[in-house]
A = this chain, B = another copy of it.
Amino acid sequence: MFFDIEPSNGVPIYDQIVRQVKYAVADRSLRSGQRLPSVRELATQLAVNPNTVVRAMNQLRNDGVVESQRGRGMIVAAGALEQCRRDRRELLATRIEDVLTEALRSGWGPDEILRVVERKLKTLPAKLPPAITPETESDS
């Protein structure tokens, strides 16, 4: 698994982890039943304190995305795909709505906003890393 954590870009680290895991599940980069790296592993891998990872995992468990098995680690929960699709849609819809609301209130018209969005959508994708992917454990 590849995470792209940016310490203090405003979004708390634990929340970045939560979102990225959810997005990875929603995008089928992570699948139900799949085992996650241990808390300690993840922590070193992300160069982050284990407690921060624990906090993210707690929230993910709360949200039905992962299950912990005592002494054995965490796995992606059964209904995780549907859950994460819902969560993704809601997380993004809310953020989009917020920004559009702010833009409209600022006096921009819908057309003006749409033009900016379209332009960004043309230039942004090229810059982005090729989406989070699991280790190719295609056959192991």
- Residues of A whose CB lies within 8 Å of any CB of B are 4, 7-9, 12-13, 19-20, 23, 26-27, 29, 49, 62, 67-71, 88, 92-93, 95-108, 110, 113-114, 116-118, 120-122, 124-125, 128-129, 131-132
Contacts and interface: CB of A to CB of B under 8 A. Distances in A.
Contact of A114 (B13, B92, B121, B124): B121
B102 A99 contact: no
Nearest to A95: B99
- Report the copy number of this chain in the oligomer: 4
Given A8-B68, A114-B118, A124 B97 contact: yes
A102 B107 contact: no
Interface of A, helix, strand, loop or mixed by DSSP: helix
A17 B126 CA distance: 35
A121 B101 CA distance: 9
A99 B88 CA distance: 12
12 contacts: A13-B70, A19-B102, A62-B62, A92-B106, A93-B120, A96-B117, A97-B120, A100-B124, A105-B131, A107-B131, A110-B121, A110-B125
Given A117-B100, A117-B114, A124-B101, A92 B68 contact: no
Most buried by B among A8, A93, A107, A131: A107
A8 B69 contact: yes
Most buried by B among A95, A106, A110, A132: A106
